[in-house]
Structure 1
């Protein structure tokens, strides 16, 4: 089962995803997709690690999420935006290659038994990107989000800490 949670910055996506995971499992897995680009971001990652309790198993992986040992687990994958950034940069900022790689990973996850809560950002709802690379990435993010939402059993949009259910499994 895939639950997709999206929304803007500080909308409560990660908190809500973690609450769902803890309701479903006493020992959930947290998959961090971030590449630590600078010291400030590293401190932010450390703060997030500290906020999660000892019941969480953390796995850090920038790509190949579908190859991780998450079969029959409840796993929070946080987040698509950072994961896509890794793919985008490793594919020389080629949208088609990056999207194909991302779709292959989502398809791999969808074939596994387990509950996978995938978090993303809605970056296309804000200001139009100023750079060519920013516009390309915004397009990539939008197409990736559509793909995950289509594959998901449930889709949730977070606004001001509140979940808006877009798609619900039967």
Structure 2
């Protein structure tokens, strides 16, 4: 099962995803993808860590998520946007390479026999970015979100902390 959870910044995606994971599994895996780029970001990551209890198995991995074996587990991957940021900056202006590497990594992940809850940001809802770099990243993020959504069994959009289910092939709703 792949359940993609998307929404705007600070919409409540991570809290929703964490609560969902704990309702489905007593010992889920938290797969964190963010690099720490400044003190404010480090503090934000610490808030996320403190919110999770001892029932979580936490793994921090910036890019190569498939090197871990998640067979039989429920994995919360948080978040695709920060993960794509790592490819984006590591590959310079080669956005095709970033998308290819990320897609290949996701295919390896999704071939594992486990359940996924994946958090991402819906950047396209925020308006047109003010510069070329931000526009390139928004385009890249939109492409990877579409890639995951096509493979997902469920897609939920979080708006102001409230879930709106927009795809559920498990119940026949698409």
TM-score class, shorter = over 0.9
Indicate yes or no: 2:23 matched with 1:23: yes
Following the alignment from structure 1 to structure 2, what is the Cα–Cα distance between the partners of residues 30 and 106?
Answer: 16
Following the alignment from structure 2 to structure 1, what is the Cα–Cα distance between the partners of residues 48 and 70?
Answer: 21
Deviation at 1:133, TM superposition (A): 0.8
1:17-56 Cα deviation digits (max 9, x unpaired): 1111111111111011000001111111111101101101
Following the alignment from structure 2 to structure 1, what is the Cα–Cα distance between the partners of residues 71 and 169?
Answer: 20
Indicate yes or no: 2:139 matched with 1:142: no
Matched pairs, number: 170
8 Å Cα contact 2:69-2:112 kept in structure 1: no
Within 5 A, what are the aligned runs for 1:20-169?
A: 20-169=20-169
Deviation at 1:169, TM superposition (A): 2.8
Following the alignment from structure 2 to structure 1, what is the Cα–Cα distance between the partners of residues 10 and 106?
Answer: 25
Following the alignment from structure 2 to structure 1, what is the Cα–Cα distance between the partners of residues 167 and 110?
Answer: 17
Following the alignment from structure 1 to structure 2, what is the Cα–Cα distance between the partners of residues 105 and 77?
Answer: 13
Query: Secondary structure of the residue that 1:109 maps to in structure 2?
Result: helix
Following the alignment from structure 2 to structure 1, what is the Cα–Cα distance between the partners of residues 17 and 47?
Answer: 17
Deviation at 1:97, TM superposition (A): 0.4
Deviation at 1:152, TM superposition (A): 0.5
8 Å Cα contact 2:32-2:77 kept in structure 1: yes
1:52-80 Cα deviation digits (max 9, x unpaired): 01101110000011222322111100001
Following the alignment from structure 2 to structure 1, what is the Cα–Cα distance between the partners of residues 114 and 70?
Answer: 7
Q: Which blocks of at least 5 consecutive residues in structure 1 are unaligned?
A: none
Following the alignment from structure 1 to structure 2, what is the Cα–Cα distance between the partners of residues 117 and 66?
Answer: 15
Supply the RMSD in Å over aligned alpha carbons: 0.9
Following the alignment from structure 1 to structure 2, what is the Cα–Cα distance between the partners of residues 68 and 124?
Answer: 31
Following the alignment from structure 2 to structure 1, what is the Cα–Cα distance between the partners of residues 37 and 57?
Answer: 23
Aligned to 1:3: 3
